[in-house]
Structure 1
Amino acid sequence: MKQRGRHRRRRRGQALRATLAGTALALTAAATLISTSQATGSNSPGGLTELRTASASQQLRLHENLTSRDSLDTLSGNMGGNVGIDGVLRDTGRPMRNTSDCTADERAALPVEPTATRAYCWDRADARTGRWQPRSVTTSGDAADDGRWNAHQVILAGWTHRDGQAAAPARDEGLARIAVVDATDPDALTYHWILLVAPRAGGKDFTAVRSGLGGMVWYQDKLIVTAAHGEGLLVFDMHRLLRTDVDSGAVGRVGAGYSAAGYRYVLPAIGSYDPEGGACARGRNRAVPCFGSLSLDRTTTPDSLVATEAVSAASERTRLWRYSFSTAAYRTGLLADAQGHVDAVEAYATKGAGVSGALSYRPAGARETRWYLGRQADGRTRHGSLWRQTGHGAEAATCTADQSHSCWSLGSGSLSYWRRTGELWTLSDTADGRVLYAVPLTSVDSSLE
């Protein structure tokens, strides 16, 4: 019976890929709607410039601050114990819509070239809300070599609360939530919301975490995300997912129980990485960079966390750098440190503006690392561009129809590479086009060549 079930799922997966291939052809034909005048990032940023000075290294240095285990254990005990990812996924989830059920506007938000081979749209209520924005993605392909968390294949998508309406409750602004997507069955994805929180009062209470969630990486048993306003990083333990027992708009302890603004699950922070040079800054005086996006590179030794600088679209340069993960058995998923200090092991500057996501990857036998940069268009109604940079130059994906570079998705987010499947995962964010999708990295390289 199990063998037959696997065959059925394989046939459904093949049917889905065939459907998406047809969608890809339709989207390629739609490329004629994009004019060359709409191209974004048309001017090549050229090669990456390596940053080697002592001052550049000092500006990227972090200090590790971990919450006491006693506080974390107190909170877990008060809330009935840790439920973990498996406990969340055993609960009833919201179904994601397959490509055939996505709207025309949602499908139009996908890349023109290279085309997506897997694409999913959110529950209609989440797809239409203007108060939350999807920003980042990471997967169990980042977390583990085999791409599984226990028996599941999982995708995490980070959303942040953004509501410009004057009547919106101030307490909600900047709230950070994550969609935990069960992607084990490619034909039937479901997801569950969890709210990010931080313990306080020695673990007897918690408060909401506020973050733009521009970047997020799940490595081993830890989740690292960008902090509020890009000022450093926050760390979470994926084993310490907790369930609330009070359904109210409050966040924290309510009487004898705990509430999380209506969310059933919370993930408490276990620590942070703060810039040693002080608060980050944008604009001209930005010695200490604010964090933009994050991704994982498993082709370095040891594995590394890749970060980009959050800058304005008009900026003349954007910094890209990496930190090594610790190889100590008792420091799983944490960054390498020496007495609490974390130093960047590599740093570059690119002239590419509007970087929304970056991924570094060095193929076997290659002489240098390739950096893939997703860049936003000037307006939210235009497709962005995707560049591959090295120290020697840059190439962009080019639309076959008009030879412009406006081929990437609308409102693209961070990038994540699932090495076992060879897929690059990301998401789009426009008012009418929020889609979680995957593109084979080989297709990306082919479109660049």
Structure 2
Amino acid sequence: MSLQHRFLRATLAAGVLAGVFATPAAAAAAVPATLPAGQYTLTADYHRYDTVNAALVSTLGTAAVHTVMDNANHDRTALPSSFSMPGLAGGFRFDSGDNSDCANYPQGITTSRDAVGTAGGGTYDGHQLVLVSWYTKDGCDGDQQRSRITLADWDATYPNKYRKILLVEPTGTATTPDFKDIPIHAGGVSWYGDYLYVADTGRGMRVFDMRKILKTDTGGTADQIGRQPSGTYYAHNYAYVLPQVGTITSATTSGTNLAWSSISLDRVTKSIVMTEYTCPSGCTAYPNRAPRAIRYPFAAGTTTFAATTTASQALQLPWYKLNGVASHNGRWWFQSSGAKQLYYWTPSTGSATYAWVSSGESISYWEDDTAADLLWTLQEAAGSRNVFAVEQATYDG
């Protein structure tokens, strides 16, 4: 645990009992039902863009994660003093511009503890990091136009900074490599080893390699993207872009395709779990049916999926409007933004329900060898974008 983490825990703990949340009391709830796991498969292609990516790397050059963070140019701020809930262990907000921006919305969350575990204090390239995925709209009421990530230092060794990186899809050829925006919701994200897995609602996941962050020119106009006639590469004035390296395509014989709303890494079973945002009825932009949660194992001893992967667990859930999921050591958590509740479930002990924040999004499990394990999560609502961690034992049945 960083000194900064310890300081925040100490200073925030005093306000917990006086906050807007009472001490959580588990309430009996419905439980998930088992589905045939063999109905759900993934097809992985980690080499789809190899040729163009090699040309982009040769043309633009790469920046290591530590270099990106050395050049972090946004200041994260403290959680507001009014924010409190049981088990709160710390957190932060983005700067005032990102906290209130009505065209950009934070969605998924993962950390360097997902990437590497607890080894070396959970650092990747020397930094302990919280990574958040975002989608960008064309104005406050527009359509989705692109997606990005932010890398935020969560370590007393470094300044309280974060940096934005644009997600892009490689295009063009080996002689004229190019890239374009990725207009997806980016509702969930998992970092495992060097690979970043980003949920793509109707397809499965897109794969990125954190060793291949590209350097771009920050000149040009805010709407310019990709290779220009001059040979310069612009990216909406982002200094760094992360190109997609592969695809993970979802299929099912159940008769109803999965909606990949959120994902999370389970380091114990070495798998990714996903869940769906659905409604009981009345929704026009989302499915009206019971949601599912599916577990997909990585290939043994790797941080990648096999060419074809069959799910190892499939559940039909009794809860709706789920924006977050996490699983660790046989336990599951589901976050409902609609109900403002966090659901906890294990097959042996049943389920429990806890009061939760409004506009909650994804969840990431944070392993810790020397302190309490945590659940990291965030809120998407403009003006209240709290990124925070709670001790998982507080929400453990």
The TM tier, using the shorter chain, reads 0.7 to 0.9
Aligned length: 377
Partner of 2:331: 370
Partner of 2:52: 71
Distance 1:214 1:73, change over 3 A: same
CA distance in 2, matches of 1:294, 1:164: 27
Normalising by structure 1, we get a TM-score of 0.78
Partner of 2:154: 183
Aligned counterpart in structure 2 of residue 294 of structure 1, from 263, 270, 273: 263
Partner of 1:394: 351
8 Å CA contact 1:119–1:435 kept in 2: the answer is yes
> Which range moved further: 129-138 or 12-21?
12-21
Instruction: Work out which of the two has the higher radius of gyration on C-alpha atoms and give 1 or 2.
Output: 1
- Deviation, structure 1 residue 211: 1.4
Q: Deviations over 1:316-346 (max 9, x none)?
A: 5211111111235xxx4211x2xx3222121
RMSD value over aligned CA atoms? Answer: 2.7
Distance 1:375 1:186, change over 3 A: farther
Secondary structure of the structure 1 residue equivalent to 2:131: strand
CA distance in 2, matches of 1:15, 1:246: 37
Partner of 1:35: none
CA distance in 1, matches of 2:103, 2:255: 29
CA distance in 2, matches of 1:14, 1:341: 43
Partner of 1:342: 309
Structure 2 residue identity aligned to 1:409:
V
| Structure 2: gaps of 5 or more residues | 282-287
Partner of 1:3: none
CA distance in 2, matches of 1:20, 1:376: 24
Distance 1:253 1:311, change over 3 A: same
Secondary structure of the structure 2 residue equivalent to 1:299: coil
CA distance in 2, matches of 1:316, 1:140: 35
Residue 310 of structure 2 is aligned to residue 359 of structure 1: no
Aligned counterpart in structure 1 of residue 381 of structure 2, from 421, 430, 440: 430
8 Å CA contact 2:277–2:320 kept in 1: the answer is no
Distance 1:220 1:187, change over 3 A: closer
Aligned counterpart in structure 2 of residue 409 of structure 1, from 341, 353, 357: 357
Q: Deviations over 1:200-235 (max 9, x none)?
A: 1125100111211111000001000012x4322100
Secondary structure of the structure 2 residue equivalent to 1:196: strand
Normalising by structure 2, we get a TM-score of 0.87
Partner of 1:17: 9
8 Å CA contact 1:24–1:117 kept in 2: the answer is no
8 Å CA contact 1:316–1:351 kept in 2: the answer is no
- Deviation, structure 1 residue 182: 1.3
Partner of 2:285: none
Distance 1:86 1:348, change over 3 A: same
8 Å CA contact 2:93–2:99 kept in 1: the answer is yes
Distance 1:92 1:47, change over 3 A: closer
Residue 90 of structure 2 is aligned to residue 118 of structure 1: yes
Aligned counterpart in structure 1 of residue 137 of structure 2, from 158, 162, 179: 162
| Structure 1: gaps of 5 or more residues | 1-5, 33-40, 279-284, 363-368, 379-383, 398-406
- Deviation, structure 1 residue 293: 0.7
Q: Deviations over 1:117-137 (max 9, x none)?
A: 202111001101111111110
Residue 32 of structure 2 is aligned to residue 48 of structure 1: yes
Partner of 2:276: 309
Secondary structure of the structure 2 residue equivalent to 1:25: coil
Secondary structure of the structure 2 residue equivalent to 1:239: coil
8 Å CA contact 1:297–1:305 kept in 2: the answer is yes
Higher share in helix: 1
- Deviation, structure 1 residue 351: 0.8
Distance 1:342 1:137, change over 3 A: same
Percent identical across equivalent pairs? 28
> Which range moved further: 185-194 or 140-149?
185-194
Secondary structure of the structure 1 residue equivalent to 2:91: strand
Distance 1:313 1:127, change over 3 A: farther
